[in-house]
């Protein structure tokens, strides 16, 4: 009868009865508050983080740094931090997959600060996007000083996990639906990061092949150089149950911690000091290891630069039978520095590489350093910190393409767009933020999305519908998805010379259902096309098309443009005329698409 008792028309649930009984025992005579229909039970800590807005895959971990976690300086061991990062990311992946997951790869990690004993490490991990059987997990790491209340970012990482079913079979994952603006941005860019991982190895090969002069051995006085052989380290670890998950697979974070340990020893042998790990380059796990395996860990300094050194480290596994060949589990490249008392990097001894493979590793380390700097410069920094026109070359072509597409996708995912003008089918929106004024113009056109994508991605045909374009010359075809054009446009108001641009055009087909076709544009610098006196060199930071199929025949076409600071004065003083001009240009674009659709139909009929 208590369970069915009604209070003000609401049923008291068992939790309320328990609360009422406890209050009664404590002398309280007031009845419990009945929950309104549809009201959810408030979990502990719900006021700090409302469950309604929290990503269901989000995992938060807080660890107090104890002396057993630190090195001789009282700083958190990077290996221990890697174990915590991998654990939090794996738990997030398993929340989405609903089954065991294993670490497949980890993107570059740059460690900004060290963490001292007594401080708290806060790790937040959540799934950004699920593909067929793999998913990307984003991890944010910060530390908290309990005495001062100071919070500071340590690193941001992206890990790829694979869901595993019975007997190691792959599991097809359910798609993830992003909710917030931040989640939509990460979801959209995850596909571009995945593409960049797949071509990571080819980037190094291309650089070594096309630019061997950049990676030649330095001219050095060999008398002060340390032979690389002296830095070589080999160690073995036995995989025990605490090192593995319930399926017996070794934790990826545990392998990374062991690898960091031998890499630190190798670095110490070069500098005869205690080095600090600054970065880990993107790496992939090539195969699993299980409880009972012996892991052989090898490390050697590949190259020593002025203030940093690269250490190559590998992990191989074998069972009890020595006769069985070793399995290659993982290889990684770690960058170390040696800090003085003021925290500044010290100058390092020179390295004398071994003949043959040692010289090859030496050259590859030099190439990786250039690629790493390009990647950090173009990919890791904020969009507003990237120069308008970045020099294009073999080492950074993948990352400029990534930055080009991801910048447009970030603009597309922004909220707070305001409708500024609507004329028949064409709608124009504006977005004001910081130093930028962005435009979005969209319309629906009766044309297949793939056909619209093909037409709008060819800048050589843009003059047919955009009166601002005079010509577009294809300068270089980087690959099937990226091309560089030299574009000449009409004279601007109060200008006596036409403008010209060197533009990287990056095209992407949908990665999965619901994704748009993307055509992104940004300025780059080419030595073959410097600024010329007869033109005013213009630059574009972010612009392009997103094309969504609405049906087999109907397509939504949207054009985005982020106006540069120098262009804002003209824009703000001529908003009415500008919007009319843009709408007219887009109407001409619709006619161009429809005309070429009909031409295609006629050719097919013929």
574-579 long-range contacts (CB < 8 A, ≥24 apart) are 575/420, 579/420, 579/421, 579/428
**Cα angle 552, 556, 559; round to 5:** 145
Query: In this predicted model, which residue has the larger pLDDT, 303 or 341?
Result: 303
Instruction: Find where tokens 């009845």 sit.
Output: 31
- Mean pLDDT computed over every residue of the chain: 82
Per the DSSP assignment, residues forming a β-bridge with 207 are none
What is the C-alpha to C-alpha distance for residues 506 and 409, in angstroms, rounded to an integer?
12
Average pLDDT over residues 294-315: 96
Q: What share of the chain is helix, strand, coil (3-state, %, to 5)?
A: 35, 35, 35
Question: What are the pLDDT digits (tens) for 469-527?
Answer: 899 999 999 889 999 999 998 886 667 888 899 999 999 999 888 899 999 999 999 98
Span 116-145, average pLDDT:
95
pTM: 0.78
| Whether the predicted pLDDT of 457 surpasses 90 | yes
- Within 26-120, where are the H helices? 78-97
Band the pLDDT of 445: cuts 50, 70, 90: very high
Q: Quote the pLDDT of residue 219.
A: 47
What pLDDT sits at residue 600? 54
Give the pLDDT confidence score for residue 141 in this predicted structure: 97
Q: Give the pLDDT confidence score for residue 88 in this predicted structure.
A: 96
What tokens were used for 256?
A: 């990374």
Task: Tell me what the mean pLDDT of segment 15-31 comes to.
Answer: 35
Report d(CA 581, CA 575) in Å as an integer: 10
Confidence at residue 67, expressed as pLDDT on a 0 to 100 scale: 94
- Highest mean pLDDT: which range of 46-50, 105-109, 387-391, 574-578: 105-109
Of 122-131, 190-199, 356-365, the poorest mean pLDDT is in 190-199
Q: Do residues 555 and 449 lie in contact, with contact meaning Cβ atoms separated by under 8 Å?
A: yes
Burial zone of 525 (CB within 10 Å; 0-12 exposed, 13-18 middle, 19+ buried): middle
Task: Please state, in angstroms and rounded to a whole number, the distance separating the CA atoms of residues 243 and 261.
Answer: 16
Q: Which residue has the higher pLDDT, 592 or 245?
A: 592
pLDDT at residue number 491: 80
Structural domains of the chain sorted by starting position, each given as residue range(s) with its CATH number in brackets: 58-208+224-375 (3.10.129.10), 383-596 (3.30.530.20)
> Is residue 338 scored above 60 in pLDDT?
yes
Residue 393 has what DSSP assignment? -
Q: At what angle do helices 397-412 and 200-210 cross, to 10 degrees?
A: 140
Per-residue pLDDT tens for 273-287? 999 999 999 889 998
The residue among 304 and 4 whose pLDDT is bigger is 304
Which of the residue ranges 31-45, 243-257, 393-407, 450-464 would you say has the lowest mean pLDDT?
A: 31-45
- What pLDDT shows up at residue 539? 84
- pLDDT for the residue 571: 43
Residue 129 scores a pLDDT above 60: yes
211 band by pLDDT with thresholds 50, 70 and 90: low
As separate numbers, helices (DSSP H) first and strands (DSSP E) second, the chain gives 10, 27
């Amino acid at each position: 009868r208590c369970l069915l008792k009604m209070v003000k028309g609401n049923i008291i649930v068992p939790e309320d009865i328990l609360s009422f009984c406890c209050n009664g025992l404590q002398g309280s005579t007031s009845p419990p508050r009945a929950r309104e229909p549809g009201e959810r039970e408030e979990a502990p800590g719900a006021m700090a983080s409302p469950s309604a807005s929290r990503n269901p895959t989000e995992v938060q971990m807080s660890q107090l740094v104890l002396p057993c976690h630190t090195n001789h300086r009282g700083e958190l061991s990077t290996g221990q931090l890697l174990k915590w990062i991998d654990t939090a990311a794996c738990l997030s992946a398993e929340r989405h997959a609903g089954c065991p997951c294993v670490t497949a790869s980890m993107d570059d990690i740059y460690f900004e600060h060290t963490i001292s004993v007594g401080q708290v490490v806060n790790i937040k991990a959540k799934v950004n996007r699920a593909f067929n059987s793999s998913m990307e997990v984003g991890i944010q790491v910060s530390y908290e000083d309990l005495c001062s209340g100071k919070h500071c970012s340590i690193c941001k990482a992206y890990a790829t996990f694979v869901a595993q079913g019975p007997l190691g079979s792959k599991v097809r994952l359910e798609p993830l639906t992003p909710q917030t603006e931040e989640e939509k941005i990460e979801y959209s860019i995850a596909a571009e990061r995945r593409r960049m991982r797949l071509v990571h190895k080819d980037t190094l090969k291309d650089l070594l092949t096309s630019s061997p002069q950049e990676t030649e051995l330095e001219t050095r006085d060999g008398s002060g150089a340390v032979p690389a052989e002296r830095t070589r380290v080999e160690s073995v670890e036995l995989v025990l149950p605490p090192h593995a998950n319930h399926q017996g697979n070794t934790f990826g974070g545990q392998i990374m911690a062991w690898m960091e340990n031998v890499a630190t020893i190798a670095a110490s042998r070069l500098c005869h000091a205690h080095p600090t790990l600054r970065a880990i380059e993107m790496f992939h796990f090539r195969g699993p290891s299980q409880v009972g395996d012996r892991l052989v860990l090898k490390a050697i300094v590949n190259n020593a630069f002025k203030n940093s050194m690269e250490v190559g480290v590998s992990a191989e596994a074998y069972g009890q039978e020595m006769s069985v060949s070793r399995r290659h589990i993982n290889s990684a490249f770690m960058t170390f520095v040696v800090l003085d008392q003021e925290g500044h990097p010290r100058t390092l001894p020179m390295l004398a590489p071994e003949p043959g493979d040692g010289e090859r590793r030496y050259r590859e380390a030099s190439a990786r350093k250039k690629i790493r700097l390009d990647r950090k410069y173009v990919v890791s920094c904020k969009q507003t910190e990237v120069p308008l026109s970045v020099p294009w070359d073999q080492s950074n072509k993948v990352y400029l393409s990534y930055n080009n597409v991801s910048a447009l996708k970030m603009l597309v995912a922004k909220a707070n767009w305001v409708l500024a003008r609507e004329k028949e089918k064409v709608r124009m929106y504006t977005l004001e933020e910081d130093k930028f004024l962005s435009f979005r113009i969209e319309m629906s056109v009766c044309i297949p999305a793939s056909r619209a994508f093909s037409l709008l991605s060819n800048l050589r045909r843009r003059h047919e519908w955009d009166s601002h374009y005079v010509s577009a010359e294809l300068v270089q075809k980087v690959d099937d998805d990226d091309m560089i054009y030299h574009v000449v446009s009409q004279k601007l108001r109060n200008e006596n010379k036409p403008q010209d641009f060197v533009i990287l055009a990056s095209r992407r087909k949908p990665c999965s259902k619901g994704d748009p076709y993307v055509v992104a544009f940004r300025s780059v610098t080419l030595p073959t096309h410097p600024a010329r006196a007869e033109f005013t060199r213009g630059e574009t930071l972010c612009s392009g098309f997103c094309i969504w199929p609405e049906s087999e025949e109907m397509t939504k076409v949207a054009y985005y443009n982020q106006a540069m600071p120098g262009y804002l004065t003209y824009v703000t003083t001529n908003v009415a005329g500008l919007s009319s001009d843009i709408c007219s240009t887009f109407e001409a674009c619709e006619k161009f698409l429809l005309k070429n659709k009909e031409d295609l139909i006629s050719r097919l009929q013929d």
